[in-house]
Amino acid sequence: MFSAPLARRATRRVTGVLGRRHLSLHEYQSLNIFQQFGVAIPKIAVAKTPQEAAQKAAEIGGDEIVIKTQVLAGGRGLGHFKENGFQGGVHIIPTGEAADFADKMLGKTLVTKQTGATGKPCGVVMLAERFQIKTEKYFAILMDRGSGGPIMIGSKTGGTSIEDIAAKDPSAIVKVPVDIIDGLSTAQASEMAQKMGFEGAQAASAAKSIESLYKVFMECDCTMVEINPFAELTDGRVIVCDAKVGFDDNAEFRQKQIHEQRDESQEDPQEVEAKKFDLNYIKLDGSVACMVNGAGLAMSTMDLLKLKGGSPANFLDVGGAANKETITAAFKIIQGDPDVKSILINIFGGIMRCDVIADGVVAAVKEVGLKKPLIVRLVGTNVELGQKIIKESGLDVFAIGDFNQAAVKAVEMAK
């Protein structure tokens, strides 16, 4: 098997893509959806230019305002901008300086612990009212295999990593399953608010937002709703201060308004291109590109490459309905990756016939050109015809029928 860090990363990302469950929205987009469902949020506005930031800040009012970089990554407050070295993607600033701070953020690339050195581009900033927090709580809704439905997770402590809270004191985490048929009752929402440490009028306000958040979770086909912090303010309000929400891509057909808000600038360009052709593609850190049909075979291929001393550069499942067009698109994507040193095509002909794959590979190479060593392993339906197509194409390809030998050759050619 491959190393633990790679295994965790590949399993986490592959699971998400194969289930097509990876839409994330910016904080301001999630907060706007919350507000539509009656969740209490702070006054916010968004800006795409420094001039617009100044105008929106004045409209929100107050002596101070919060400005937040809108990128799809955590750790924004501790990040830095690649182009100018400006520190921090979240600041509390005098209202009159909104344009100056926005100018240092907009059009720049924010680097955080979660983005890696590449960073994420900032095209929008969010401006929010300045408020004083009295207490911070944590709240989330997820799907739970154990209880067979949604589960609410809360803590009296928020504003920091929930993993750190759980490690320090597991008893600080409250878990309340919700019957997916009956739904969340007002009594359950009130109980959850109280277990999170809200009291009196604040408990009632928190319970109302919890009910509304559950409606968001169910009616918007969310995979996760995470609020940190869910805060009581010094003025008595209870509001959602920060939000992270995931949406199920399988429900795109009935959540078009939400999915139209996808910000492709925050995603890997190769993954965006792959999605256009319904390819399951994930960029990884290695040097051997993989084109495979079927998730199980893909994972086995990545395992074997690691065992043979190599490292996969990607996960790419062309699926059972691939044709020349999709295979050509897949070939362009992996050839366009500068980290790729060799390419291994590993096809088991079942639903997808080997001759179709072979035709697609030949067409792709003739259109794109072959710039890197290519190893093709075909087994299954119409394998003889597929091998004949490859052989008669005149392409400089290593056609190897044995799985182990193909993997060894791919690793060797990548070095």
Whether residue 9 has pLDDT greater than 50: no
Quote the mean pLDDT of the chain. Answer: 88
The mean pLDDT of 119-131, rounded to a whole number, is 95
Whether residue 354 has pLDDT greater than 90: no
Of 81, 79, 17, 28, the closest CA to residue 244 belongs to 28
pLDDT of residue 322: 65
Long-range CB contacts (< 8 A, 24+ apart) of 393-401? 393/362, 393/365, 395/362, 395/365, 395/370, 396/370, 397/361, 397/365, 397/370, 398/373, 398/374, 400/375, 400/376, 401/377
Check: CATH 3.30.1490.20 for 43-129? yes
Whether the bond between 177 and the residue before it is cis, its omega within 30 degrees of 0, is no
Question: Which DSSP letter does residue 55 get?
Answer: H
Biggest CA-to-CA distance, the chain: 79
Alpha carbon distance 371, 408 (integer Å): 20
Give me the residue spans of the domains in the chain.
43-129, 133-259, 268-414
- Report the relative pairing of strands 125-129 and 90-94 from DSSP bridges: unpaired
pLDDT of residue 293: 84
Give the range among 233-242, 266-275, 402-411 with minimum mean pLDDT: 266-275
Residues marked as catalytic: 138, 226
Question: 268-414 belongs to which CATH class?
Answer: alpha beta
3-state DSSP assignment of residue 77: helix
Q: Do domains 133-259 and 268-414 have the same CATH topology?
A: no
pLDDT of residue 14: 41
Confidence of residue 320 (pLDDT cuts 50, 70, 90): low
Strand ranges of the sheet holding 44-47, from the earlier edge strand across to the other edge:
44-47, 125-129, 64-69, 90-94
Based on its alpha-carbon atoms, the radius of gyration of the chain, rounded to whole angstroms, reads: 25
The angle formed by the CA atoms of residues 375, 376 and 379, to the nearest 5 degrees, is: 145
Confidence of residue 2 (pLDDT cuts 50, 70, 90): very low
Q: Which helix (H) or strand (E) holds 46?
A: strand 44-47
Q: Where are the alpha helices (DSSP H) in 277-323?
A: 295-307
* 8 Å CB contact between 245 and 142: no
* Burial of 116 from C-beta contacts in 10 A (0-12 / 13-18 / 19+): exposed
Q: Which two tokens stand for residue 123?
A: 């095209």
Q: At what angle do helices 324-335 and 269-276 cross, to 10 degrees?
A: 180
Q: 220: number of CA atoms within 13 Å, CB side? A: 26
- pLDDT above 70 covers what percent of the chain? 93
Residue showing tokens 């067979």 = 148
Superfamily designation of domain 133-259:
ATP-grasp fold, B domain (3.30.470.20)
Confidence of residue 269 (pLDDT cuts 50, 70, 90): confident
